[in-house]
C-alpha cells in the first residue's frame, strides 16, 4: 500500500501584480497635455495649475509645458504645476 494522502493546501501561494506607482515626469522636464505626471494612491501630490486629477488620483497634464513641484499652503502640501513655455 504505497499510497500517500493528499497534502493540505497551503495558505500562501499568492502574489498581487505590481502597480507601477510613482512620479513619471520629474521637475523641469517637458510634458504634453494628457501625459501622466504621477501615479499614486491617495493625494500624496495635489494638482496645481495646468494639472488634472484622475479617478484613481493620477495627476496628468492639461496643457503643454514644463513640470514644476512645489510645497505650499498652510498644511505644506506638495503641489504639481505645469508651467506653459
Q: For 13-61, how does the pLDDT look when each residue is reduced to its tens digit (9 = 90+)? A: 899 999 999 999 999 999 999 999 999 999 999 999 999 999 999 999 9
Distances (CA, A) of 70 to 43, 56, 83: 14, 22, 12
Contact 66, 29 (CB under 8 A): yes
**Residue 78 has what pLDDT?**
98
- State in Å, rounded, how far the first CA of the chain is from the last one: 81
Q: Which domains are delineated in the chain?
A: 22-83 (2.40.50.100)
Read off the pTM: 0.85
Amino acid at each position: 500500500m504505497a499510497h500517500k494522502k493528499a497534502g493540505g493546501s497551503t495558505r500562501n501561494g499568492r502574489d498581487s501584480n505590481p502597480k507601477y506607482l510613482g512620479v513619471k515626469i520629474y521637475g523641469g522636464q517637458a510634458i504634453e497635455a494628457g501625459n501622466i505626471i504621477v501615479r499614486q494612491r491617495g493625494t500624496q501630490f495635489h494638482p496645481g495649475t495646468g494639472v488634472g486629477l484622475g479617478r484613481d488620483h493620477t495627476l496628468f497634464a492639461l496643457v503643454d509645458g514644463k513640470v514644476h513641484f512645489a510645497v505650499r499652503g498652510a498644511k505644506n502640501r506638495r503641489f504639481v504645476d505645469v508651467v506653459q513655455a
